[in-house]
Amino acid sequence: MQLHDKPLIAILLVGFIPSASVIFGIEVIDNELFSQIFFVSCKIWIFLVPTVWYLKVEKKSISKNLPTKEGIFFGLITGIIMSLIIIVTWFLFNETLDIDGMVEILQSNGLDSFNLYLLGMFYWIFINSLLEEYVFRWFITIKSSELFGSDSIGIIFSAAMFTLHHAIALHLFGFIWWQTLIACFGLLSAAAIWSWLYIRFRSIWICWLSHAICDVAVFAIGYTILF
């Protein structure tokens, strides 16, 4: 059996790197410079491995599929609906959160500077979320579907992998177990919707549009906390 016929290897090469990035970057590596280097190295790794696997291992060419109007509509609608759910959930549970602790963590990363916060927002919305769609919705969803022989199982599995590193980050951010559980349910649902969007429309741009709208809602909430 050739390497390109082993989707599990492809998944293992990238699927747990975001979780490692969170754990080592926050808990293990004390030096801020080394932490940032490790963070950037993980981002480069999860971009390069799927690209090399697709172009060199599977020997396929770059897809030029453009998003359809129907796909853009679904991306907008799902993004808006999920953003409203995020905002409503925030208003329902924000008083149960350790806001002071969150602010302290954000301030320790310099995000209490408006200009830096704006820069971070730009990065997470336009770069990081697109990279996550590239990795989790395109690469891992497709490889999971190949591994299990089912798009439905592939969607659930890739959504679970996406949720994993966010769950770790939320725990380290100070969320207690039931808050993390609620957040993970939302993350798992959103990731499954984005994977379904990719399976249906075969365009990460549609998934990214929905994801980016949700990130706007998250950063809007962050702004109210810090400023």
Q: Which of 22, 28, 47 is nearest to 165 (CA)?
A: 22
pLDDT digits (tens, 9 = 90+) for 53-83: 999 999 888 877 789 999 999 999 999 999 9
Distances from the Cα of 9 to the Cα of 2, 144, 149, angstroms = 11, 11, 16
Report whether pLDDT(48) > 70: yes
Q: What is the average pLDDT across 93-108?
A: 77
Report whether pLDDT(132) > 80: yes
pTM, rounded to two decimals: 0.91
Task: Tell me how crowded residue 181 is: count the other CB atoms within 10 A of its CB.
Answer: 12
Report whether pLDDT(96) > 90: no
pLDDT digits (tens, 9 = 90+) for 9-32: 999 999 999 999 988 877 777 777
Q: Which of 89, 63, 95 is nearest to 218 (CA)?
A: 89
31 burial level (CB within 10 Å; 0-12, 13-18, 19+) = exposed
CA distance 201 to 133: 13
In the chain the first and final C-alpha atoms are separated, in Å, by: 57
Q: What is the average pLDDT across 40-57?
A: 95
To 10 degrees, what angle do helices 204-226 and 114-123 make? Answer: 160
93-113 in b/e form (b: 16+ CB < 10 A) is: eeeebeeeebeeebeeeebee
Sign of the C-alpha dihedral, residues 187, 210, 206, 72? Answer: positive
Domain locations along the chain? 68-226
pLDDT at 65: 76
Enter the tokens of residue 153: 């199982």
Enter the tokens of residue 223: 């702004």
CA distance 196 to 113: 37
Report whether pLDDT(156) > 90: yes
To 10 degrees, what angle do helices 99-108 and 204-226 make? Answer: 110
Planar angle of CA 110, 116, 119, nearest 5 degrees: 140
pLDDT digits (tens, 9 = 90+) for 190-220: 999 999 999 999 999 999 999 999 999 999 9
CA distance 53 to 95: 46
